[in-house]
């Protein structure tokens, strides 16, 4: 678990004020601090997190996701999640956290709706 890596790539978005982060790897206690610093660094009006390549997320990852949501809400910004697999979606539903987020099956749909 200590050798897990989470790669976060800024994707170019066709819409101004839209920041898209593509996540590759698990969001766990081992990777959560780097993830947290990257999402906090942005100030765009809208953040889209692409979970397509996230195999799983633990409670620490869930906590940072909720903190990110709260920070965006307090500053009048939006956040959307894309491409969550069944395991991540089940964690979000089981903890009722999924109700907080706008979720989309594809990045194109998220950009269209939020951009």
How does pLDDT run across 12-56, given as a tens digit for each residue?
A: 887 888 999 999 999 999 999 989 999 988 888 999 999 999 999
Contact 100/93 with Cβ under 8 angstroms? no
According to CATH, the superfamily of the domain at 7-108 is: STAS domain (3.30.750.24)
Q: What is the predicted pLDDT for the residue at 55? A: 96
Domain ranges of the chain: 7-108
Contacts with 114 (C-beta within 8 Å, 6 or more apart), sequence order: 18, 46, 48, 78, 80, 102
pTM of structure: 0.93
């Amino acid at each position: 678990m200590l050798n897990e890596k989470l790669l976060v790539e800024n994707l170019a978005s066709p819409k101004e004020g839209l920041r898209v982060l593509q996540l590759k790897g698990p969001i766990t206690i081992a990777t959560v601090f780097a993830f947290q610093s990257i999402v906090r660094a942005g100030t765009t009006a809208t953040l889209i997190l692409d979970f397509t390549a996230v195999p799983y997320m633990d409670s620490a990852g869930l906590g940072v996701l909720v903190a990110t949501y709260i920070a965006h809400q307090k500053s009048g910004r939006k956040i959307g999640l894309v491409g969550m697999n069944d395991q991540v979606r089940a964690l979000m539903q089981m903890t009722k956290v999924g109700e907080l987020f706008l979720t989309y099956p594809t990045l194109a749909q998220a950009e269209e709706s939020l951009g």
